[in-house]
Amino acid sequence: MSRRVATMTLTAVLLIALVAVAWLVPVPFAAMSPGPTENTLGTVDGKPIVQISGHETFKTNGALDLTTVAVSSPDQKLDLISVIVGWIDPRVAVVPYDYLYPGDPTPEQVEQENAEAMQTSQQTAVAAALRQANEKVTPVVQVQAVVEDTPAVGRLKAGDVIVAVDGKHVTGAQDVVDIVGRHQPGDRIQFAVRRGGKDVDVSITTAKSPQDPGKAFVGITPFDGFEFPFKVTVNLGQDIGGPSAGTMFALAIVDKLTKGSLTGGHHIAGTGAIAADGTVQPIGGIQQKIAGAKENGAETFLVPAANCEAAAAAQVDGIRLVRVDTLRGAVQSLERLRDQPSARVPSCAR
């Protein structure tokens, strides 16, 4: 073999190797694709997803599917091959990694954030639904989470209602933050809480804040929650997180608390975070959620108003896109479609 041929051969091998490496080296992108759906009127592991006790409920039929998005893991960036495949597949959205995971969080941090968002979403969904059904809802300050290895462990519990701190009645989560913030590390703080219907006094010695050693730290996340006149439980595992199922949870609760079926026996799907006043808020991954709903047999999809433009661009045939601004509006649209399937309701123009 001549030197020229040997050089060309070696060059070709190196070029192929470089191209192969380039295709496999991680790039700063993440992928979103249709995730699983769950009928909020149905069951999971033998339990109703929405379970109500202490109040009369009514029979339901059809389906009110919550929809999800499957995303690539925060500890795994895509390679170039996966990015190109995602660009080709109309069901997949390839987005900058920082769009999904700002700050480069760990998988454990993402899981915790999603779990907390789901818990808050369920609370606000119950509040919105009960208000829609003309039931009493009482705002309270609750412990959303207790951080591991902090002074609050074993003293306060997630779900505790914080009535007062240092003898001062609190009306919002910020009140708790402000009172704790006035203390120094090593100070004792008195919490008056309600747990399981009983009043409990808790004394906690503060530690140094991990973010600012000069400030007091207890180790809880307070949030503005609610107390309800009867028990509403959402039996859904940790596989689904985030706030975007709120609207579908709320609709399932309303359907069970009121006479007549909201769905009319039809297969409805949708999405949307929800505020306690019933305002439906936008979410991410709307196109992937619509595709997943259609694949699961849904005939109608409830779209948060702010997501309508992106939803209309999804171009998924055979599924009706209904625009919803509020829980009340969603209920009214479903009632109209139940009574007259061809009725005009707010829609996402296509």
Q: Give the residue from 202, 203, 151, 141 showing the smallest Cα distance to 175.
A: 141
Banded pLDDT at 12 (limits 50, 70, 90)? very low
What is the model's pLDDT at position 238?
56
Contacts of 210 (CB under 8 A, 6+ apart): 217
Q: Give the residue from 316, 284, 313 showing the smallest Cα distance to 300.
A: 316
For 305-347, write each residue's pLDDT tens digit.
999 999 998 877 889 999 999 999 999 999 999 999 888 999 9
What is the model's pLDDT at position 20?
43
CA distance 276 to 225: 9
Evaluate whether 33-102+124-135+230-339 and 138-227 have a shared fold: no
Distance of CA 260 to the CA centre of its chain: 28
Judged by phi (left if over 0) then psi (alpha if -120 to 50, else beta), residue 119 lies in: alpha
For 77-130, write each residue's pLDDT tens digit.
656 666 565 556 667 766 676 666 676 667 666 666 666 667 778 889 999 999
- Is the separation of the CB atoms in 279 and 273 below 8 Å? no
- Is the separation of the CB atoms in 120 and 145 below 8 Å? no
Q: Which CATH class is domain 33-102+124-135+230-339?
A: alpha beta
Indicate the CATH number of 138-227 among 3.30.450.40, 2.40.50.100, 3.90.1170.50, 2.30.42.10: 2.30.42.10
For 207-238, write each residue's pLDDT tens digit.
999 888 889 999 999 989 999 999 999 887 65
Which amino acid appears at position 207 of this protein?
A
For 36-81, write each residue's pLDDT tens digit.
899 999 998 889 999 999 999 999 999 999 999 877 666 666 566 6
Sequence ranges of the domains in the chain: 33-102+124-135+230-339, 138-227
